[in-house]
Amino acid sequence: MRIDLTDTNASKINKALVQGRRAIGTPAVGMVLTLVIVTDEEHAYDAIKAAGDASREHPSRTLVVIRRVSRSPRDRHDTRLDAELRLGSDAGAGETVLLRLRGELTRRADSVVLPLLLPDAPVVVWWPVGAPPVPAKDPLGALAQRRITDAYAVESPISELAARAAGYAPGDTDLAWTRLTPWRSMLAAALDQARAEVTSAVVESEAENPSAELLARWFVDRLKVPVEMVVTDGPVVTAVRLRTSEGEIHIDRPEGPVARLAIPGQPSRVLALKVRTTAELIAEELRRLDPDDTYAAALRVTVTAPGPGEEDAVTEAAAAETAPAEKTE
């Protein structure tokens, strides 16, 4: 079911949602959170589809904030809110409200969103593109317990990670980190089996990949070892090698949905390690709304590129740290 409202307000939207639910016989009590998506028209379709798929695991009210850019002086005085409501089969397992803001409302989106939040339910804000420099200080970000960005969606991902570290607040996370969950799980399990001290690590990936960068920082933070970054054709992270006193632990995924894991003294094995969809990444992030301290620690590590005559890329933290290696979590 779809309902279009032109030149409307939050009160009319709430009333239309109640009427729409009654018409299709769908209660609101099953929704567990409010997901606010801040995007533009170009990226709205993909973001809404991903949120709809994720809502089958986390039924939610999805508010899509689309700021319409004024193209003439006359348009700047056209302050207006248009809304499109989607319920039932058109909105996954929840309900979706597209909010198209014009004029002064583009700078006061929080005043439009606030009355539409589900009462007594967590709020998550996701910027598929165009995230603010400091998400927690953004008016919409300040409403949320969880703020999701994506460093992969910008032109300079590594610089974006530096900005995220500078403006980090508990509750911030990034899909570049979420993409690493299967890698981190497999590597932690491999280290538990090998029970050997790691002396260095190698991360192979396409150039300027933020997930690879965060993986290298995670190694430095947890293992206190130098990390070498190797550029490949991708896609994303293609291999990880952990050099230990007993031999090399490595996971290779040059292409496709499977990877090969090798541990010293054990036969190699094939594991499922596909590149996950945005919907799967969002669904994972919605499972936990508490601060991700591991992400915060990895984000703050600085990776130093090698200069002439220097060793392969190592992190400053690894160069200064002499504590014994510890296993990943």
| 172 inside domain | no
| 175 inside domain | no
With a cut of 60, say whether residue 196 has pLDDT above it.
Answer: yes
Residue range 99-109, pLDDT digits in tens? 999 988 999 99
Q: Are residues 93 and 216 in the same domain?
A: no
Q: Are residues 131 and 34 in the same domain?
A: yes
Q: Cα separation of 160 and 198, whole Å?
A: 29
Q: Are 50 and 98 in contact (CB under 8 A)?
A: no
Average pLDDT estimate for 312-323? 37
Identify the CATH number of the domain in which residue 275 sits. 3.30.360
User: Would you call the peptide bond into 267 cis, given omega within 30 degrees of 0 as the criterion?
Assistant: no
pLDDT for the residue numbered 76: 58
Q: Are residues 67 and 206 in the same domain?
A: no
pLDDT for the residue numbered 279: 96
Residue with structure tokens 């992969």? 152
Residue range 215-246, pLDDT digits in tens? 999 999 999 999 999 998 878 899 999 999 88
Residue range 279-302, pLDDT digits in tens? 999 999 999 899 999 999 999 997
With a cut of 90, say whether residue 314 has pLDDT above it.
Answer: no
pLDDT for the residue numbered 240: 96
Q: Are 167 and 133 in contact (CB under 8 A)?
A: yes
Last residue of a domain, one of 106, 134, 149: 149
Q: Are 150 and 127 in contact (CB under 8 A)?
A: yes
With a cut of 80, say whether residue 311 has pLDDT above it.
Answer: no
With a cut of 90, say whether residue 8 has pLDDT above it.
Answer: yes
φ and ψ at 28, to 5 degrees?
-95, -10
Strands 123-126 and 33-39: parallel
Q: Cα separation of 21 and 238, whole Å?
A: 47
Query: What is the DSSP track for 69-92?
Result: PP-SHHHHT--EEEEEEEEGGGGT
pLDDT for the residue numbered 86: 93
Q: Are residues 109 and 55 in the same domain?
A: yes
Structural domain range at position 99: 2-149
Neighbours of 249 (CB within 10 A): 24
Q: Are residues 16 and 123 in the same domain?
A: yes
Q: Are residues 192 and 142 in the same domain?
A: no
Give the confidence band of 73 by pLDDT, cuts at 50, 70, 90.
Answer: low
With a cut of 90, say whether residue 202 has pLDDT above it.
Answer: yes
Q: Cα separation of 254 and 270, whole Å?
A: 13
Q: Are residues 145 and 197 in the same domain?
A: no
Q: Are residues 196 and 314 in the same domain?
A: yes
Mean pLDDT for the chain overall: 87
Q: Cα separation of 108 and 74, whole Å?
A: 19
Residue range 42-65, pLDDT digits in tens? 999 999 999 999 998 989 999 999
Last residue of a domain, one of 149, 171, 190: 149
Give the confidence band of 306 by pLDDT, cuts at 50, 70, 90.
Answer: very low
| 328 inside domain | no
DSSP symbol at 214: H
| 117 inside domain | yes
Structure tokens at 175: 């899909």
First-last CA distance in the chain: 45
Total domains in the chain come to 2
